[in-house]
Every structure is written in C-alpha cells, then in structure tokens.
Amino acid sequence: MLDHLYDYLQGKFAISKEDYILVQQASRKRKLRKGQYILQEGEICNFVAFVALGCLRNFRMDEKGQEHIVYFAIENYWTGDRESYVLKEPSKYYIDCVEDSEIILFSRENFELLCAQIPKFGELMNMLIQKSFMASQNRIHSSISFSAEEKYQDFLNNHPKLANRIPQNMIAGYLGMTPETLSRIRNTIKARNT
Amino acid sequence: MLDHLYDYLQGKFAISKEDYILVQQASRKRKLRKGQYILQEGEICNFVAFVALGCLRNFRMDEKGQEHIVYFAIENYWTGDRESYVLKEPSKYYIDCVEDSEIILFSRENFELLCAQIPKFGELMNMLIQKSFMASQNRIHSSISFSAEEKYQDFLNNHPKLANRIPQNMIAGYLGMTPETLSRIRNTIKARNT
DNA sequence: CGATTCTTTGAAAACAGTCAATCTGTGTGG
DNA sequence: CCACACAGATTGACTGTTTTCAAAGAATCG
C-alpha cells in the first residue's frame, strides 16, 4: 500500500523490488487530519517524512503568535526539520497539515540504515538537500530584492500548484507580509488585468 | 604552499599526506585584488573555490543596478554558484572580492574526481551543503519575520566577524535594506545604549 | 443553519525608501 | 607633506509602501 513512494523512487533511480521491500519495512504510513501536528517546537526531530498525499507546512511562531512559514511540502516532497535532525537539538519549528494528508515516516535509525543499505537512496537524499539549498538561495534572493507584489508574482511563477490550494493567509505568512497586504496586492493585479 | 587548506581539511577529517597531494594537484591557487571578479552573470560556474584569505561575495544585480548579496565567504569558507554548477546553466550571480584575497580553485573535473578518489572529501562536501541549507533556512526565517532592526541584530549575532570587516552598504545589500536605513538603525541602537 | 475561519476594505500610523546634500576617512599624485 | 579626489557613511525632508486595528463580507464545516 506504499505505492506512491514506490512510483516516486522508480522515477528517481529505478529501485528494485527487493530494495523497495527494505524501504517498506523501514517506514510506516500515517494518515493525518488537517491541523494535526507531526512536530512541535522544542521536540527533537527524529524522523524524515515523505508526503504521499496532502500538504504540510513548516513554520515558526513568534512572541506575538504570528506564524512564519518557511516551507510547504505537497505530494512527492519530503519534510522534517533538517537542523534539529542533524544537530539532535530541539526544533524551533512546528510542522502541521494544511490539508488531510498521508505521510510515510522513517525513524532516524531506519532512515540512516536505508541510506547505507541502498546507496542510490542515500545519493538521492544528498541530491534533494542540494536542490533544497538551491531553492533556498532563490528564495533568499527574492525576499531581499523584491517588493511585496514582486514576491507574490515570483511565488505564482515558482509554485503555481501551491497558489491554488493554500489559503492566502498562509501564502502571506510564507512571503513575509500580512494577509491584508496580500489581499490588496491581488486586487491591484486584478484591476490591472481588466 | 596550500597550507591553509591542509589545516582546514586536517580539522575536518584528518586527511592523509598522500591524499592531500591529490588535492594539491587538483587545485590551483589564485591571488585576487579587491573588486576582482571570479564569476559574472551569464557564465557557467565550472569551479568550486576555497577561500584561504580575504573575503568574497555572491550577488545579483537588478535592472536598476542595485546589488543584492546572498552570501559572503571568508577564510575557510567555500564559494561558487552551486545552482549554475549543478545545472550547468548560466549563472545569475556575480562573485567578486570584498578584500584582496587568496583562493584555491578546483575545476569541475578535478573536483568531482577528488570527491570520488577521497570518499571523506566527498562526504565533507555533502555535509557542507547540508550546513549551507540549514543556514539558508535560518536566513529565510529572519528575512520573512523580522523588522529591519531585528534583521541587523540577527546579523550581528550570527556573523560577528563579518560585521567588522564588511562595508555597511554591503551589509545593507545582504539584509535587503538601503544603506540609509541601516545607518539610521545604527543610530537608534547607539542612542539606546547611552 | 449557525459558528468559525478566511478574506476584504478603510483609515491612520509606522516603517522603509528616495533623492540630495554634507561629512568622514583613505589613499594618491603633485 | 599637502591637497584633492573618491568612496563610504550620515543626515534631512519627502514620498511611498506596508502594517495595524477595526469592521464587514464571504466561504467553509459540522
């Protein structure tokens, strides 16, 4: 029943049936409801998660209770708090579900074992971190260079699929602006296109 | 004469003399003057560089000629444009020297060879990318969550060594604000501490 | 249908950017 | 050694953008 992940890994490096059985044995599936947390501030992130269905977000909460979102993970994306995982320190992040979701969880032990047992799997993870880094660089550039409207346009260009399924207050929290500002920006864009 | 890199690698994984000779043969040293470029927009980044001395910056230029700095590399840091390197696509970045510098350059071919020949070297690179990613995440958080003054304070906390040697207009370009704004922020901080 | 959450709108205030002028320090050439 | 040029930093007045707070409208879910 882990077909989603199997298709994904097939697409990445043509995993063998036998190796996939290892993956299956190392993981467990979890169904989650919208709003449910898989990580909370202060906990050590001892897992890596693959999103088979739905959408999750990584965010921090500030003293005023405002949520600042650093990452969305939809189908075929991985999530977790890399920093807490690597350093084995309490996380500064929350991870919760934006929609009802299905994820495949790997405990730290199992995940490291898999990376060692299936070299291609380990390489894939290195490649993913590299891609994450490249994406982060681009996000940093956008966030230090662009006006609020430009940031939103950039978001639409880079994440057309997210734009349609994520509430706007979260998009605002991802872009570093208030929901009111985002709403006004959408207005002026709409006005311009008429 | 590549002692700086030798000490660095020693500190990272106790490299053997023989392996270090490989590193030496795969690299070449370059002295650079302040302002000199090692990468310009449109070029493909076919190298990885280690900074033995001095300071370099990665930045993009917008239509108005404004420079947006995504990264500073000082002694014992690595630089280059990872995205252009990996994708073999023209870079969107410039990399130039903030001070007179000495760097150790690895061509793509030599670098990949080294990673394969010296497994610990390859692992180190993966680890560095991972750390870069973690640093990027934190920078994204700061840039979507903080006011201009908080961003500056955060910069002082995280990069005390950079604050003293980098001109303020560049710090402003790194934090995503104008030099004027940064100057005023420094004023209010100074006023508060008297 | 009612309750809750999300989005929009308005007016005022806070914040950051722009433009122009001045000040400071550094290094260079006469 | 001085005078000058130059780059970087500061200041002031003004403009524009974004936030804040409050309220009203839409949409969604049980």
**pLDDT tens per residue across all 194 residues of chain A:** 557 899 999 999 999 999 999 999 999 999 999 999 999 999 999 999 999 999 999 999 998 889 999 999 999 999 999 999 999 999 999 999 999 999 999 999 999 999 999 999 999 999 999 999 999 999 999 999 999 999 999 999 999 999 999 999 999 999 999 999 999 999 999 988 87
When scoring A133, A147, A169 by the number of chain B Cβ atoms within 10 A, the one with the most, hence best to mutate, is A133
Q: Which nucleotides of C are covered by protein (CB under 7 A)?
A: 6-11, 15-20
What is the average pLDDT across B138-152? 98
Subunit contact A60:B134, Cβ cutoff 8 A: no
Assess whether pLDDT exceeds 80 at residue B2. Answer: no
Query: Using CA atoms, how far apart are residues B138 and B57, in angstroms rounded to an integer?
Result: 19
Q: Is A88 on the interface with B (CB under 8 A)?
A: no
Residues 134-173 (A) near nucleic chain D, CB < 7 A:
147-149
Q: Is B151 on the interface with A (CB under 8 A)?
A: no
Q: Which amino acid is at B43?
A: E
Q: Is A119 on the interface with B (CB under 8 A)?
A: no
Q: Categorise residue B24: left if φ over 0, alpha if ψ from -120 to 50, beta otherwise.
A: alpha
Given this model, what pLDDT does residue A19 score?
95
Subunit contact A139:B140, Cβ cutoff 8 A: yes
B178 Cβ within 7 A of any nucleic strand D atom: no
Subunit contact A145:B83, Cβ cutoff 8 A: no
Measured between CA atoms, the residue of chain A closest to residue B122 is: A126
pLDDT band at B70 (very low <50, low <70, confident <90, very high): very high
Q: Which amino acid is at A52?
A: A
CA/C1' separation B32–D13 (Å)? 42
CA/C1' separation B190–D12 (Å)? 19
Query: Using CA atoms, how far apart are residues A134 and A15, in angstroms rounded to an integer?
Result: 26
- R_g over Cα of chain A: 18
Name residues 31-50 of chain A within 8 A of B (Cβ).
Answer: none
B99 Cβ within 7 A of any nucleic strand D atom: no
**Backbone phi and psi for residue B93, each to the nearest 5 degrees, phi listed first:** -110, 160
Given this model, what pLDDT does residue B126 score?
97
Tracing tokens 């002082």 back to the chain, one arrives at B156
Whether the full predicted model's pTM is greater than 0.85, yes or no, is: yes
B192 or A78: which leads in pLDDT:
A78
B180 Cβ within 7 A of any nucleic strand D atom: yes
pLDDT band at B64 (very low <50, low <70, confident <90, very high): confident
Given this model, what pLDDT does residue A2 score?
55
User: For B83-123, what is each residue's pLDDT tens digit?
Assistant: 999 999 999 999 999 999 999 999 999 999 999 999 999 99
Is residue B81 helix, strand or coil? coil
B1 CA to chain A: closest CA distance, Å? 32
Query: Using CA atoms, how far apart are residues B192 and B104, in angstroms rounded to an integer?
Result: 44
Given this model, what pLDDT does residue B194 score?
76
Query: Using CA atoms, how far apart are residues A179 and A173, in angstroms rounded to an integer?
Result: 8
The full length of chain B comes to 194
A146 CA to chain B: closest CA distance, Å? 9
Subunit contact B140:A175, Cβ cutoff 8 A: no
Q: Is A151 on the interface with B (CB under 8 A)?
A: no
Dig out the tokens for A51 from the structure: 């999103």
pLDDT band at B192 (very low <50, low <70, confident <90, very high): confident
Report how far Cα B178 is from the mean position of its chain's Cα atoms: 21
Q: Categorise residue A107: left if φ over 0, alpha if ψ from -120 to 50, beta otherwise.
A: beta
User: For B8-49, what is each residue's pLDDT tens digit?
Assistant: 999 999 999 999 999 999 999 999 999 999 999 999 999 999
Assess whether pLDDT exceeds 80 at residue B184. Answer: yes
Mean residue pLDDT across chain B = 95
Query: Using CA atoms, how far apart are residues B131 and A144, in angstroms rounded to an integer?
Result: 21
